[in-house]
Chain A
Amino acid sequence: MENKAIVCKDLTKQFGDFKAVNKISFDVDQGEIFGFLGANGAGKTTAMRILCGLSYPTSGEATVAGLNVYKQQEQIKKNIGYMSQKFSLYDSLTILENIEFYGGVYGVSRPDIKERSKNLIATLGLEKEAKKLVGALPLGWKQKLAFSVAIFHRPKIVFLDEPTGGVDPLTRRQFWDMIYEAAASGITVFVTTHYMDEAEYCNRISVMVDGRVEAMDSPVKLKEQFNTHSMDDVFYQLARRAERSGD
């Protein structure tokens, strides 16, 4: 239990009669890149909101970084990073100001913010742009920056909600290099995506259908299991079982 980053057991979230998340169970190892797949409306977002400490489950158990999702939401929030499909930095702030702001919100100390942001800007090669408004950056750079900001406070787990939407393949590739680096440094990555080539980059993936986890394994084994060569086909076979329609 102790070395698992996320543990879910029969996690359920019900809205009236509607079971958005229906008894899902899985666990994620520390430093693992875990792909969380499913068609729109399958319940991914609801499950992720529970794990991020934004909503309470109806029943079942779950711990994130060893912390209980019922009782320790505030503790959980301190230990995770989050990046959403929507671009989440402020356009009217400079790169440096954005970093300082999020660092401040997460309670990183001032000297630490200074040092880490210097390193970060050097790693991203943005020395010239550091004092420019983020609004002027190309989207690919914005997303890379957003990811760097999401792990700026050195969280144990980072949740990425369709992080590469609308980004070109080359930048996506670079983005995944950054994810690997983060994972190598011990950060657990929990990522949702609609791109099946990205699913292949994950250590393990789970596929949600109608609020349940219908399949979970490494991409290679899943392809074997469903007797096909492409992840696309695996996803298609699973998603076809869905009875509720996506939105």
Chain B
Amino acid sequence: MKRLGAFIRKEFYHVFRDRRTLLILFGLPIVQIVLFGFALSSEVKNIGVTIQDNAKDVHSQEIINRIRTSSYFSVKASVVNYKDIEERFKDGSVKCAIIFPVNFGSDLYSKEGAQLQIIADASDPNTATIVTNYLTAIINNYQQELNPNARLSYQIVPQLRQLYNEEQNGSLNFIPGVIALIFMIVSTALTSVSVVREKELGTMEILLVSPFNPLMVLVAKAIPYLVLSLINFIIILLLSAFLLHVEIRGSLLLIFGESILFIITCLSLGLLISNVTNSQQTAMLVSMMGMMLPTLLLTGFMFPIENMPWIFRVISHIIPSRYYYDIIKAVMLKGLGFSYVWKETLILAGMSVVLLTIALKNFKIRLS
């Protein structure tokens, strides 16, 4: 036990004296949270819109006013012709343009009805869809208010509610993803690199010749990174709660328990990688390519899994972070209990056991 203590202390010295490791450890989560929270927001807010009002009548002005007062849009200087619109799209100052035809107001009372054109910049299709939907809603609203009795008396008006995230707070979705990513970086990449470094430097040989149990070498390597991952986790939770105002609904205890389980999965993966690689670069590359990219792409936090080709959907089943992402989303954001995530928990636990067994076995084989 005292030997283990000496070893763990040494690991902490390594971490705290290496500026790069420190930067990855504590800089990364903060940068990611801020980046995802503010810069890469998928929310639609203050979308630039320009208006070519050829009608200039009461109705067009009223619609423009409504758009102006909506927090989703910010109305920019109006344009005179179509060429101007394209210029604005190209310089990126607006994402959307509305064109009122000359006799918009009078057409409104005609049999054929009035027309207006909405042009959206679909180079970002998600935003384009959301923008056109919002604009259509504003216009429909106005239309209904104009002649409340014109419509059929039988009307279905769907009342939409987006549960668990009614304010469309985009931060919610990515936080579990960022947490999974950070665990992958700290527990998988840094752990594998730190074991392989000892191999590269030749100190592993010395440790193996010492009476220190080789399996304890792995334990001693894993514990500091487990602790550091948890500290990171707490930082992320605090940042999400106080900076991004994400409400944590589920039980904190369950969230921590599941996180520790996932950290163990990541650590096992890291130890396994360190067994099959012999240089720090290779270990880093395998961790990045083999583990972090799938975490980014195949867990569903950036791109919905349901929309992927079947081959990727199949592959996504062997990515541990996918299950962790689902668990945290369910517990943290929806406030669900263990009974809803036991299946994912079981899969993660199974993965950890398998990975750890392979890692330990390989480590022993290397000795003889």
Tell me which of B52-60, B155-163, B199-207 binds A: B199-207
Nearest-neighbour CB distance to chain B for A19, whole angstroms, equals: 17
Nearest-neighbour CB distance to chain B for A85, whole angstroms, equals 8
B210 engages A88 (CB within 8 Å): no
* Residues of chain B with a CB closer than 8 A to A55's CB: 367-368
What separation, in Å, do the CA atoms of A89 and B205 have in the docked complex?
Answer: 11
Which residues of A in the span 191-217 have a Cβ within 8 Å of any Cβ on B? none
Q: Which residues of B contact A110 (CB under 8 A)?
A: 2
In the assembled complex, the Cα of A86 lies from the Cα of B202 at a distance in Å of: 6
Q: Does B14 contact A (CB under 8 A)?
A: yes
How far is A88 from B201 in the complex, measured between Cα atoms in Å? 7
Q: Is A26 an interface residue (CB 8 A)?
A: no
Let me know if B203 and A90 touch, CB within 8 A. yes
- Which of B4-12, B227-235, B268-276 lies on the face that meets chain A? B4-12
CA distance A88 to B207 in the complex (A): 10
Please pick, from A87, A88, A105, the residue contacting B7 in the complex, using a CB distance under 8 A.
A105
- Bound Cα distance from A65 to B42, whole angstroms: 69
CA distance A105 to B201 in the complex (A): 18
CB-CB nearest in chain A for B220: A105
B212 within 8 A of A: yes
A114: CB under 8 A from chain B?
Answer: no
Instruction: Tell me the smallest distance from the CB of A91 to a CB of chain B, in Å.
Output: 8
Verify if B13 is at the interface (C-beta below 8 Å from A).
Answer: yes
Within 8 A of A (CB), among B13-39: 13-14, 17-18
Min CB gap A69→B, angstroms? 12
* Chain A residue with Cβ nearest B202: A86
Interface residues in B166-224 (C-beta closer than 8 Å to A):
201-203, 205-212
A84 near B3 with CB under 8 A, answer no
Interface stretch among A75-83, A124-132, A237-245? Answer: A75-83
Give complex CA distance A103, B211 in Å. 11
Residues of B within 8 A of A88 (CB): 201-203, 205-206
Chain B interface size range: 20 to 34
Q: Which A residues are in CB contact (< 8 Å) with B18?
A: 92
Please tell me if the beta carbons of A93 and B209 are within 8 angstroms of each other in the complex. Answer: no
Supposing A84-B202, A90-B10, A97-B13 touch, asked if A106 and B211 sit within 8 A by C-beta, the answer is yes
A54 within 8 A of B: yes
Measured as residues with beta carbon below 8 angstroms from the partner, the interface class of chain A is 20 to 34
Inter-chain contacts of B209 with A (CB < 8 A): 52-54, 77, 80, 82, 159
Residue from A53, A78, A101 within 8 A of B10 (CB atoms): A101
Closest B residue by C-beta to A53 = B209
The CA of A92 and the CA of B12, in the complex, are separated in Å by 11
Nearest B residue to A113 by beta-carbon distance?
B6
Contact A104:B7 (CB < 8 A) given known A54-B209, A92-B14, A92-B18:
yes
Give 1 or 0 for each of B99-139: 1 = CB within 8 Å of chain A CB.
00000000000000000000000000000000000000000
Q: Report the bound CA distance from A86 to B212 in whole Å.
A: 20
Instruction: Tell whether, in the assembled complex, residue A104 and residue B208 are in contact, meaning their CB atoms are under 8 Å apart.
Output: no
* B367 contact from A54, A107, A159, Cβ within 8 A: A54
The answer on a CB contact under 8 Å between A104 and B6 is yes
The reply on A180 being an interface residue by CB < 8 A is no
Least CB separation from B208: chain A residue: A54
> Quick one: given A55-B367, A88-B202, A88-B205, are A105 and B13 in contact (CB under 8 Å)?
no
CB-contact partner of A56 in B201, B203, B212, B368, under 8 A: B368
User: Does B211 contact A86, Cβ atoms closer than 8 Å?
Assistant: no
Q: Which of B7, B10, B211 contacts A97 (CB 8 A)?
A: B10
A-B pairs, 6 with minimum CB distance: A104-B6, A86-B202, A82-B209, A77-B211, A88-B206, A78-B211
Known contacts A86-B202, A104-B3; 13 further A-B pairs (Cβ under 8 A): A55-B368, A78-B211, A82-B209, A84-B205, A88-B205, A90-B201, A100-B6, A101-B9, A102-B210, A104-B6, A105-B6, A107-B3, A110-B2
Could you list some 10 contacts between A and B, CB below 8 A?
Answer: A84-B206, A85-B202, A86-B202, A89-B203, A90-B14, A92-B13, A92-B17, A93-B14, A105-B6, A106-B211
